[in-house]
């Protein structure tokens, strides 16, 4: 008998005779708590020592430019599907290289910053979720290798709780849930921010509905989200 058949046969012998178990779902389910509270979201992010800037939607591009220049970046990668304005840095005496196409891991290793959008965000936990099949969020390495990640969250992408986000993510194949910069609690269970992932997470929260791209449903992006 193959290992597969033997393990399955053991399971059938071992499991009880009872049929399906009914699952009580009395907790706060998706769609029952309204929109996510932006102030709470910002507070939770700051708790993780992420940097947070809350701006009007039409200020996003200038806010990104200011943040990148403040940090003194030399090379920045923007996810290819992000609005062009997000990587338009005003003329500077020192040239800053902006990359928007496909990049190798070696290039990313020599990149100071990455700019992306997100798929959905959770106010209660200060979590931002990326869909790596969406062009404005990019493949996984993009937001992993550079030491600084700037992510733009549109106000309408912020949901109240985890169940709301899980509902918005049904069918999204490759996801990264990000709650603050990388951290460890492995030494005396004391939290230290900044290990292997980006050591700085900067979140630009874009208020209002005057966002300069077409309107999206909550959690939606510019792609079809059936399982691919």
Partner 1 sequence: MTFLGMPAGGGNLTGTPFPKAARGALGDAQLRRNLAKATTTIRTKRAGVVGELPDWAELRAAGAAIKDEVLANLDEHLVRFEEALTSRGTHVHWARDADEANRIITDLVKATGTREVIKVKSMATVEIGLNEALADAGVHAVETDLAELIVQLGNDKSSHILVPAIHRNRTEIRDVFRREMPGVDPDLTDDPRALAEAARRHLRQKFMTVDVAISGANFGVAETGALVVVESEGNGRMCLTLPRTLISVVGIEKLVPSWRDLEVFLQLLPRSSTGERMNPYTSVWTGPTEGQTSHVVLVDNGRTATLADPDGRAALRCIRCSACLNSCPVYERTGGHAYGSTYPGPIGAVLSPQLTGVDRNPTLPFASSLCGVCYDVCPVAIDIPSMLVHLRSRVTESKRTTPESTAMRALSWVMSDARRWGRLIRLGKFGRLASRHVPLPGWSAARDLPLPPKQTFRDWWETR
Nearer to partner 1, 70 or 188 (CB): 188
Using the rule CB under 8 A, give the single segment among 6-14, 52-60, 68-76, 208-216 that binds partner 1.
6-14
Q: Pick from 8, 72, 212, 213 the residue near partner 1 by CB under 8 A.
A: 8
Binding mask 95-134 for partner 1 (x = CB under 8 A): ----------x---x------------x-xxxx----x--
Q: Minimal distance in Å, beta carbon 85 to partner 1?
A: 28
Rg of the chain in Å (alpha carbons): 21
Among positions 161-220, residues that touch partner 1 (CB under 8 A) are 161-163, 165-167, 169-170, 172-190, 192, 194-198
Using CB under 8 A, count the residues that bind partner 1.
Answer: 74
Classify the phi-psi angles of 72: left when phi > 0, otherwise alpha if psi is within -120 to 50, otherwise beta.
left
Stretch that binds partner 1, among 3-11, 65-73, 208-216, 217-225 (CB under 8 A): 3-11
* Burial class of residue 70, CB neighbours in 10 A (0-12, 13-18, 19+): exposed
Residues 34-93 that bind partner 1 (CB under 8 A): 44, 47-48
114 neighbors 95 (Cβ within 8 angstroms):
no
Alpha carbon distance 61, 65 (integer Å): 6
Closest distance of CB 194 from partner 1, Å: 7
Q: Which of 99, 135, 144, 218 binds partner 1 (CB under 8 A)?
A: 144
Cβ partners under 8 Å of residue 96, min gap 6: 68, 69, 73, 74, 75, 76, 89
Placement of tokens 């900044």 in the chain? 194
Secondary structure letter of residue 209 according to DSSP: S
CB of 150 to partner 1, least distance (A): 17
The answer to whether the beta carbons of residues 91 and 130 sit under 8 Å apart is no
């Amino acid at each position: 008998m193959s290992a597969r058949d033997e393990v399955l046969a053991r399971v059938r012998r071992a499991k009880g005779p009872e049929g399906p178990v009914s699952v009580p779902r009395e907790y706060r389910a998706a769609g029952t708590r309204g929109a996510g509270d932006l102030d709470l979201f910002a507070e939770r992010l700051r708790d993780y020592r992420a940097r947070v800037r809350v701006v009007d939607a039409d200020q996003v591009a200038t806010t990104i430019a200011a943040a990148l220049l403040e940090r003194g970046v030399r090379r920045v990668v923007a996810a290819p599907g992000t609005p062009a304005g997000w990587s338009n840095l005003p003329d500077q005496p020192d040239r800053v290289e902006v990359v928007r196409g496909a990049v190798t891991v070696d290039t990313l290793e020599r990149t100071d910053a990455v700019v992306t959008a997100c798929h959905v965000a959770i106010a209660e936990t200060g979590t931002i979720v990326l869909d790596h099949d969406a062009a404005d969020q990019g493949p996984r390495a993009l937001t992993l290798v550079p030491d600084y990640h700037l992510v733009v969250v549109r106000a309408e992408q912020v949901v109240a709780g985890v169940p709301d986000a899980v509902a918005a993510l049904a069918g999204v194949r490759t996801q990264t849930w990000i709650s603050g910069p990388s951290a460890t609690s492995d030494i005396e269970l004391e939290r230290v921010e900044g290990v292997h992932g980006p050591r700085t997470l900067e979140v630009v929260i874009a208020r209002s509905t005057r966002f300069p791209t077409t309107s999206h449903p909550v959690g939606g992006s510019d792609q079809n989200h059936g399982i691919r």
